[in-house]
Structure 1
Amino acid sequence: MATTTQDRNTPLKDGQLIPVAVAAGTKIPGGVIVCANAAGFAVNGATASTLTYLGVADNAVDNSGGGDGAQVVLVRRGKAAKFANDAGDPVNQTSLGKPAYIVDNQTVARTHGANTRSVAGIVLGIDADGVWII
């Protein structure tokens, strides 16, 4: 399509709550880390270098008996979420403003674990009971 020189009525969407097709054989509990796998389907956060952090599951979805895209999970984005801090590789004050990495669907770590973990987001705060990520 060629460059326009006219005003354009561009459709917009609120990107805070997005529907994402769930991967085959996947059950996603509400409130957990949701990622896109290499094929673009929603999966639980896990230690893997090929996942893309999407946000937090707003609802629980059970697609354990369905194929890719048979179910949809609503993913909340744009808000900081608190996740558990990995005991073996804890996020600390020096991590503020830096990426945290996905360990599982509720836990983040300070490092990429020798390139085995995907980025969860940016550390906004550290509390005694968890790490705030956006």
Structure 2
Amino acid sequence: MTALTTDRNTPRHDGELRHGLVAAASLIYAGSIVLRAADGYLHEGHTATGLVGVGRAEARVDNRLGADGDEDLTYRPGIFRFANSAGADGITFADVGELAFVVDDQTVAKTDGTTTRSPAGIIDGVDANGVWVRFDEALTKAS
């Protein structure tokens, strides 16, 4: 490309809402944890490895009968409260700043369940109603 010689209307993406293609056999409920696999397709939160948390689903998408990419999902990165695991996997205030791991589409845990769980995001806070998790795919991968 050559240098500009006039004003340019440069496209902008604010990053508040993001879109991705949904994996085959996935049912993602609005408000649930969304994960991305190494192949780029989005999944509902569940116990598995090789995935990373990307955000909260903004709508329900059912691709249980479709192939990879047949459905598109809008999701939002940010800080959201999800259910806390119990017992030794329960997250406490002392865990703020550490990784939270995905148990299911609404629950996070302190550990990777002996290498059976993928990271959801960074623990931002804990209260009586659950765990606040920061969903930032790049930050979580870097951690």
Q: TM-score higher than 0.5 here? A: yes
Q: Who is 1:19 aligned against?
A: 19
- Letter of the aligned partner of 2:82 in structure 1? F
Q: Who is 1:53 aligned against?
A: 53
SS in 2 for 1:94: helix
User: In 1, Cα distance between the equivalents of 2:116 and 2:94?
Assistant: 21
**Where in structure 2 are the equivalents of 1:78-93 lying within 5 Å?**
79-88=78-87, 89-93=89-93
**Sequence identity (%):** 44
- Letter of the aligned partner of 1:86 in structure 2? S
- Letter of the aligned partner of 1:31 in structure 2? G
**Where in structure 2 are the equivalents of 1:1-134 lying within 5 Å?**
11-77=11-77, 79-88=78-87, 89-134=89-134
Gaps of 5+ in 1: none
User: In 2, Cα distance between the equivalents of 1:66 and 1:49?
Assistant: 22
TM (norm. structure 2) is 0.83
Larger helix proportion, structure 1 or 2? 2
Q: Who is 2:141 aligned against?
A: none
SS in 2 for 1:80: strand
1:11: how far off?
A: 4.1
Task: Kindly provide the CA deviation profile for residues 1-45 of structure 1, in whole angstroms up to 9, marking residues without a partner as x.
Answer: 9xx9x67x6643121211110011211110000001232111011
SS in 1 for 2:108: strand
User: In 2, Cα distance between the equivalents of 1:44 and 1:84?
Assistant: 15
CA RMSD between the two structures = 1.8
1:55: how far off?
A: 0.3
1:48: how far off?
A: 1.4
User: In 1, Cα distance between the equivalents of 2:40 and 2:17?
Assistant: 17
- Letter of the aligned partner of 1:27 in structure 2? L
